[in-house]
Structure 1
């Protein structure tokens, strides 16, 4: 029967994969290869059946013998310190996948499931009900190195499929849920620290008035300068994929994998973040609030100087 190996399975998606396997009466051993595995309060995992390995140069020769299937989740994403390094992204996402495929064949692994992304189809233009059978865009049109690397890796994975070594690519989009540190937490941050319509103060802070003190004006310029030195809330790709219509068909997954989507998990995710006293890694002054503060300050200043525009 063999065991399962999940490369890069120490994160949010990996935890849910393990939980799903175990919920479906899967009692075989699962090996997770990940340098920094996390625990999630909202995901039920039987740790007795899971072994976590740190990454090193010999790890694949130790974990792949006897494996029946490999789930490949590891990748450099479209955000973070490494996302802008084209060579590093390509080496990790494409060449790393190629080396993993070779090792899987060498050790007789029968199945290889690759975590791809709808980013392979998206170039900033509206998309409607896109299927996996449609031709991929010109690589030069991708909005980031991640998208291009995923497209190349996906084609590589599919080209290696044989009767003895079957490969599958699954395209995901904006994986969300309670404790997701990427998409869901970003949205929660924006909601909880987002755009203010107004603010009242009872305990001594200076209220918004018909004029602004020089101290407050200077502070708003300083805070705005600090904000501009920080990384954006959303990347170009994040903003484009959120603001542009793009939908994808799941008919092939229904037909070939007998996939039946579970009910929307957004209510559970919303309840999780509502219970948190605060959202992690969020500064006291949100970026949107700083922008709002600068706009209000300038508006009041102009109204004070040019009263006819009040």
Structure 2
């Protein structure tokens, strides 16, 4: 890799070495923030979207939309002239397996990276997840050397793990692909985790599993975008990097702070893990027997990511990428509180 590539404050031209940048999943939560991040640095962003509604979203953020399916032919045509790729499209459901898990996470990744090689893209980042390592047992300060488990708790983990293998196989011969694994993305403009948490808390359906006092790593969306930029410019081909906010928090404490930014009092209810585990197994069995008509209230995939400690060591990203969080948990929480307060004032 070229050693003269620099980013951010080191060189105004650094990020422009990535331009034009091709982005999948541009209308999603992370994708929208990536567009803002790179456009602000002068990078031309081409975003593949599946509908006119999504095209309007990414265009309003400053990207050039390309409407089409996540197929090799479509992506290869759209990527012509692009120097870099960020593959953020994913089917993130933690529920029982559906055709979309394979179609998006596996076949979509295969098509995207084959197209990138065909189009002459030089650098790529695949957005993965720490969930490729979860098996239902605690993960305590693990690093990227930890092997994937022999059995996964759900389709999301399994298909994202398979996607990583595809990316590694494609990397090489003047096409350098890097994997970034953020954990528990949160922050401004959240249309994923925060709405689910607030709805559960308001409905009285939220409870702390075993008290929720186990530790968790998390990653503010601005830190994810910063880490992805660094991975594009400095990451070693074929390698994976964890990106987090740094020091972990207790799961209960962190989620409680998120809820409080929205003016919601955290729940006090506590449930034992054995009971929730039994509910998950029964619900998944009912889903299979009903052909998917029954939706389980919780799954083993959910529990593997939120019912035990999951903490990550980011030493590799610090060493190889020069990564350090650019926004603290305190700053992120204060921003969420300001935005929520502003929204409530506007509704009066």
Matches within 5 A, 1:1-310: 2-23=19-40, 26-35=41-50, 36-37=53-54, 47=60, 49-56=62-69, 58-79=73-94, 84-85=97-98, 87-138=99-150, 141-162=151-172, 164-194=174-204, 231=295, 234-261=298-325, 262-264=327-329, 265-273=332-340, 276=343
TM-score when normalising by structure 1 = 0.67
Please give the per-residue CA displacement for 1:206-263, whole angstroms capped at 9, x wherever unaligned.
xxxxxxxxxxxxxxxxxxxxxxx98566543223322201111111111111111121
Matched-pair contact (CA < 8 Å) for 1:178–1:270: no
Alignment RMSD: 2.9
Q: Which has the larger radius of gyration?
A: 1
Deviation at 1:90, TM superposition (A): 2.1
Distance across 2 between alignment mates of 1:246 and 1:255: 22
TM-score when normalising by structure 2 = 0.60
Distance across 2 between alignment mates of 1:38 and 1:194: 37
Distance across 1 between alignment mates of 2:181 and 2:74: 27
Distance 1:185 1:135, change over 3 A: same
Deviation at 1:52, TM superposition (A): 1.6
Distance across 1 between alignment mates of 2:37 and 2:83: 17
Gaps of 5+ in 1: 197-228, 278-310
Matched-pair contact (CA < 8 Å) for 2:27–2:49: yes
Distance 1:146 1:243, change over 3 A: same
Aligned residues: 235
Deviation at 1:60, TM superposition (A): 1.5
- More deviation, 87-96/165-174: 87-96
Choose between structure 1 and 2: higher helix proportion: 2
Gaps of 5+ in 2: 1-16, 207-292
